Amino acid sequence: MKKIFKTMSCIAGLLAVTATDVKANNIQISGTAATGSVVSFNISWDNSWNASVAPSNWDAAWVFIKYQDCATKQWYQAPLSTISADHTAGSPLQVDAVTDGKGVFIRRSAAGGGSTGSVAVSLKMTMPAGAYNFKVFGIEMVNVPQGNFVLGDGTSSSTFNTYTVTASSQSGGITAAALGGSSPGVSSSYPTGYNSFYCMKYEITQEQYVEFLNTLTYDQQKTRVISDPISASGTYAFSNASGSGIVIGTSGFNNTVPAIFACDVTHDGVLNNSNDGQNIACGFLTSSDVNAYLDWAALRPMTELEYEKVCRGTMAPVAGEYVWGTTAITQIYSGVALATPLTATETYTNAVANGMCDYGTANPAYRPLRVGIFATNSSGRASAGAAYYGAMEMGGNLWENVVSAGNAQGIAYTGVLGDGTLNAVGDANQANWPATTGLGAGLRGGSYVDGASYVRTSDRANNVYTNTTHYSSLGGRGVR
Ligand SMILES: [Ca+2]
Ligand SMILES: [Ca+2]
Ligand SMILES: [Ca+2]
């Protein structure tokens, strides 16, 4: 879980000046170096898989590189080769290039599972030489294969009709009458979940949000937190409650130099202690915050239909089922006994039971838990509260930000990917995404504050949600 930060000053004429390692929840990236147009590093993550039996999918790391112009100090998305063979990864991994060159997927090349060990990776960038600093980011994802699935469960609030999404649903759209749930229906441009995509395995964590903030300009940061970046060191970015631990470590300056954010839930002035909440899901994120993160990471928000695909997969609907596919639910929350709270190994001490989920405290003073807390070596889907393809906490912990199928702004969405760049004030600026006012956004899956009914795969009680308040129960994740 360690990070290595190499401090070197900018030297004109070298492409590689400094390179910084950044990890996601369970991915470690170390030894980052840049030579010419190639960035190399070692990557490892535990519990990776490539399954030859149902759900017949794999997990992957979405890896992208940001570079900082040494003169302007601004960070930009590094363009990567769109040819997979230009990149290398040792066994058991392979690198899949993507057509927009905004990053790569790194995944197991053959059926198998477990720790990958430390694997050497090299990625080829396609930008002109210059004096730059680099940061490599890795986000854990799960593959969602192309294929039919069923919407709706026949009983949950505002549920879609029980409707099978097929290739022709995507190519021809779905009418209002067929879709039900008071939706105006969706066109062939709206991602229905039929086509394959990747979904983030976990909600955005506090550490990931800090890493995001620390590549933004002052004005961009100001939009993405509650406290002004010029505030004193130690000021909470959002709140001093609900496990929120993002603080200003070094104040911004003169409305131009951005702040440096860090995690400090313990609020002892010592930043990034092992129990400063780095791996806790990041609350207080409005739809606009989540979508800014996703544009920056070159991902995109998921639609309501994709949400149900991720949760239910190819299984037949069960009336009232939760995101793990059964109607059994067991409440775990931050008020119960937790071992090593707020650390990367935060775990619960209750006996394992089916449907373990952080929901229903009716009290925002509690907090979301470490992402992936219920997944252990011995847990099955139901006990881990896992969605069908292995995404965690799709129900409970924090609400999931989705693109609504319930209004005109939502159904105008066409699945345009983020491009790694925000506008001058730090908002996402991709065509037909939900507006910065939240219009077109919705919520799914419930939260640590809210009741069990919202944890249902097909519950659409908040399918339209345009509130822009930074509530502690709001978070999210993206897809690509
Ligand atoms: Ca601390
Ligand atoms: Ca959630
Ligand atoms: Ca953009």
Residues 183-237 have pLDDT tens digits of: 999 999 999 999 999 999 999 999 999 999 999 999 999 999 999 999 999 999 9
296 alpha carbon to ligand 3 midpoint, in Å? Answer: 7
220 alpha carbon to ligand 3 midpoint, in Å? Answer: 13
Are the C-beta atoms of 308 and 318 separated by less than 8 Å? no
Are the C-beta atoms of 424 and 432 separated by less than 8 Å? no
In 70-103, beta strands by DSSP E: 75-77, 88-89, 93-97
pLDDT at res. 25: 52
Residue 2 lies in a domain: no
- Asked if residue 258 and residue 175 are part of one domain, the reply reads no
pLDDT at res. 3: 32
pLDDT at res. 376: 77
Considering 124, 142, 160, which residue would you say is the last residue of a domain? 142
- Is the model more confident about 255 or about 460? 460
pLDDT at res. 14: 33
291 alpha carbon to ligand 3 midpoint, in Å? Answer: 10
Reported as a single tens digit per residue, the pLDDT across 421-453 is 999 999 999 999 999 999 999 999 999 999 999
Ligand nearest to C-alpha 273: 1
Question: 134 in helix, strand or coil?
Answer: strand
Ligand nearest to C-alpha 278: 1
pTM score: 0.95
Question: Could you give phi then psi for residue 169, rounded to 5 degrees?
Answer: -65, -40
Q: In angstroms, rounded to a whole number, what is the distance separating the alpha carbons of residues 14 and 56?
A: 44
Q: Above 90 in pLDDT, residue 11? A: no
Residue 201 lies in a domain: yes
In 102-250, beta strands by DSSP E: 104-108, 112-114, 119-124, 132-144, 149-151, 163-165, 197-200, 246-250
Q: In angstroms, rounded to a whole number, what is the distance separating the alpha carbons of residues 442 and 440?
A: 7
- Asked if residue 318 and residue 169 are part of one domain, the reply reads yes
- Asked if residue 398 and residue 313 are part of one domain, the reply reads yes
Reported as a single tens digit per residue, the pLDDT across 344-385 is 999 999 888 999 999 999 998 899 999 999 987 677 888 889
Q: Above 50 in pLDDT, residue 117? A: yes
Residue 243 lies in a domain: yes
Are the C-beta atoms of 265 and 344 separated by less than 8 Å? no
Cα separations (Å) of 218 from 41, 294, 421? Answer: 30, 19, 15
Considering 123, 142, 161, which residue would you say is the last residue of a domain? 142
Ligand nearest to C-alpha 234: 1
Average pLDDT over residues 246-263: 95
Mean pLDDT of the chain: 93
- Asked if residue 34 and residue 166 are part of one domain, the reply reads no
